[in-house]
Amino acid sequence: AHREREAALAAERDRLARVLDRMVEGVLVVGADGRVARTNPALERLLPLAAGPGATPGEATGRHEVQLAAARAAAGETVEGERLAAGGRTLLLTAAPAAGGAVLVFHDVTELQHALEVRRDFVANASHELKTPVAAILAAAETLAGGALEDRAAAARFTATIERHARRLARLVEELLALSRLEAGAAPERRPVAAAAVVAEVCALMEAPFREAGLTLRCEVAEGLPPWRGDRRSLETILTNLLDNARAYTPEGGEVAVRLEAADGGLRLRVRDTGIGIAPEHQGRIFERFYRVDPARSRAAGGTGLGLALVKHLAESLGGRVAVESAVGAGSTFTVELPGGPEAAP
């Protein structure tokens, strides 16, 4: 019976050791004597160890925060969420009392931290973009209330200002909502869509704005397109945003060409302009939210830098992707690949 119990204990120890070996988190076990009893391989990847078992936790890791956390845990306290910077990474240290000693667990939270920073930047940017039109609307309303209402010409000007900024605000909120819906993972429903008709409609709507900007817009749809299962609204939004950009960033006299064609059982939508172009160092970033090559110019054009982020998200939510080719001064080509839908998949 004694033997059996010993064998069972050994098996249990083996199992524990295997678990520790495979853990993603770094683990450091401190015995009742205050010395390191064992460590796991993950810990050595996260925090190069200066000494092995037998050393104090501080000596082993070279970090006095670790020594402190171990001492507090050994005294019966649970230490949670201590942050450690190590070799460009951020570790979260948790220490708990265990059998007179302590167990210390190290989580690598570098990616999480980065995601939080992106989110914080996003909130700051969004708030800033929302503040600008709100301030303009308030100022115009106050001026009207302060007497400008009596002056018909001034009144017309200020109400036009209010309208313009309110529209901008509405669009911004719309884009932010669309982005957050997409980020929540809401995949658009897939229905049969007459993609050629959608492209023709958007092009028809854009004709007037292009004419007013002194630009030529040409839309071409290839023959024999495969049936497409996708989302009509998404396709509209993608093309509208690409055309908005082509119009905003192409000087008068320029040309913009849209082409819809078949590609790998799905669709390829291409928008080519003869505009100002995008330098290579910006090409990778224009799909980020709020990123603008020239913020002053984009703001003057009414842009906030959300359009391409939306295009990218929409294309990806439909299983596709978007790419840009561009040369400064020569123009840009945006290509969106959209797979045919679940039925079309091999």
Ligand X SMILES: Nc1ncnc2c1ncn2[C@@H]1O[C@H](COP(=O)(O)OP(=O)(O)OP(=O)(O)O)[C@@H](O)[C@H]1O
Measured CA to CA, the distance from residue 47 to residue 51 in angstroms comes to 11
Query: What's the closest the beta carbon of residue 292 comes to Mg ion, in angstroms?
Result: 9
Question: Is residue 246 within 8 Å of 312, Cβ to Cβ?
Answer: no
With CB cut-offs between 5 and 8 Å by kind, which of ligand X, Mg ion, none does residue 306 bind?
A: ligand X
**332 near ligand X (CB under 6 A):** yes
Phi, psi of 254 (to 5 degrees): -80, 180
DSSP of 39-55, one letter per residue? E-HHHHHHS--SS-TTS
Q: Which amino acid type is present at position 202?
A: V
Query: CA–CA distance from 48 to each of 21, 102, 132 (Å)?
Result: 16, 20, 49
> Of how many residues is the chain composed?
346
Query: CA–CA distance from 346 to each of 82, 265, 340 (Å)?
Result: 49, 9, 10
Query: What's the closest the beta carbon of residue 247 comes to ligand X, in angstroms?
Result: 9
Binding residue for ligand X (CB under 6 A) from 307, 319, 320, 339?
A: 307
DSSP-derived secondary structure letter, 222? -
Nearer to ligand X, 140 or 248 (CB): 248
Cβ neighbours of 149 (radius 10 Å): 13
- Site pattern 144..163 for ligand X (x: CB under 6 A): --------------------
Nearer to ligand X, 230 or 307 (CB): 307
**237 near ligand X (CB under 6 A):** no
**276 near ligand X (CB under 6 A):** yes
Phi, psi of 109 (to 5 degrees): -115, 25
Query: What's the closest the beta carbon of residue 207 comes to ligand X, in angstroms?
Result: 18
**308 near ligand X (CB under 6 A):** yes
Give the pairing type, strands 89-98 and 79-86. antiparallel
**245 near ligand X (CB under 6 A):** yes
Find the part of the chain contacting Mg ion (CB under 5 A) among 103-111, 154-162, 274-282, 297-305: 297-305
Measured CA to CA, the distance from residue 23 to residue 76 in angstroms comes to 25
Binding residue for Mg ion (CB under 5 A) from 234, 245, 317, 335?
A: 245
Residues 6+ apart with CB under 8 A from 200: 219, 221
Find the part of the chain contacting Mg ion (CB under 5 A) among 21-29, 95-103, 245-253, 287-295: 245-253
Binding residue for ligand X (CB under 6 A) from 20, 286, 314, 318?
A: 286
**274 near Mg ion (CB under 5 A):** no
Nearer to ligand X, 277 or 319 (CB): 277
Residues 6+ apart with CB under 8 A from 188: 230, 231, 233, 234, 314, 317, 318
**140 near ligand X (CB under 6 A):** no
The residues in 301-320 that bind Mg ion, with binding defined as CB under 5 A, are 303, 307
Nearer to ligand X, 241 or 317 (CB): 241
**274 near ligand X (CB under 6 A):** no
| Residue written as token pair 């070279």 | 62
Query: What's the closest the beta carbon of residue 140 comes to ligand X, in angstroms?
Result: 22
**304 near ligand X (CB under 6 A):** yes
**293 near ligand X (CB under 6 A):** yes
Torsion of CA 265, 266, 267, 268, to 10 degrees: -80
Site of interaction with ligand X (CB under 6 A): 241, 245-246, 248-249, 273, 275-278, 286, 291-294, 298, 303-309, 332
Site of interaction with Mg ion (CB under 5 A): 245, 303, 307
